[in-house]
Amino acid sequence: MKDYTLLEPVCLDSITKTVRIAFHPLKQIRMAKGFTLSALAKSSGVYRWTIHFIEIMRVKPKPKTMYKLGVALGVNPAELYVSVLEYGMETIKSEHAKTLRIVAKPGETPKQMIARLVHRQLHPFFRNLNKQKISAAKFLEEVNISKATIKNWIDGKCVPNTSTLSKLCEAFNVSMDDLLTEMKEWNAEDTSDPVLYIEQNIHRLEE
């Protein structure tokens, strides 16, 4: 299963693009540590093509992916994640504003965006889904719940009705009380200091 989402190609002239890719922070660290793409893929468990697409700025890497790469490279995963997304947003912001909107919310700083993405991946739905070893699309199809229902829940627009929550509890093998407690704790998490939040919580993506 691929662990990346392709973005639109960044519109840079060939020389600028070559330079930007050459100095991409992930590539610089990988080479400094003596890793080939294949070696890093084997060590981290991240697909070789995923790493390649990150380095040529064709993807928005997931927090969990960057955590794996950071651990394999022996660097702080949170700092690696921040540097990679900031580097990509610098290019996108100056050359391809349309793509930036896919990555960040209006007025959102790179660090705020990263904290939001980490927090989102720690939502009780994703935390319980990860234990099922199944894709979100396949899972929702099996339990007959719409993607829109879950998206609105994760985005904080609404809470699923009792029937939907019951389906989720049964599929996840958790009690309603436990799921609601997880939700209460997740909603209470403080992301006001994005750097501190990333540092303290990015490791939880592997739990």
Report the CATH superfamily, name and number, of domain 14-108. lambda repressor-like DNA-binding domains (1.10.260.40)
What residues are paired with 116 via a beta bridge? none
CB-neighbour burial class of residue 198 (10 A; exposed 0-12, middle 13-18, buried 19+): buried
Q: Each residue of 127-176: pLDDT tens digit?
A: 898 888 788 888 999 999 999 999 899 888 888 999 999 999 999 999 99
Q: Each residue of 56-83: pLDDT tens digit?
A: 888 778 888 988 999 999 998 888 888 8
State yes or no: pLDDT of 22 exceeds 90.
no
Q: Each residue of 27-60: pLDDT tens digit?
A: 989 998 899 999 999 999 999 999 999 888 887 7
Looking at residue 8, what DSSP letter applies?
A: P
Distance CA 75, CA 204 (A): 17
| Residue 91 zone, left/alpha/beta (φ > 0; ψ -120 to 50; rest) | alpha
Task: Decide if 14-108 and 123-188 have a common fold.
Answer: yes
The ranges assigned to domains in the chain are: 14-108, 123-188
Residue 86 token pair: 């900031």
Looking at the chain, which runs of residues are DSSP E strands?
Answer: none
- How many alpha carbons lie under 13 Å from residue 122 in its C-beta half-sphere? 26
- Rounded to two decimals, the pTM is 0.62
Report the CATH superfamily, name and number, of domain 123-188. lambda repressor-like DNA-binding domains (1.10.260.40)
Distance CA 176, CA 20 (A): 49
| Cβ atoms of 102 and 44 closer than 8 Å | no
Rounded (10°) angle between helices 136-143 and 162-172: 120
| Cβ atoms of 56 and 28 closer than 8 Å | no
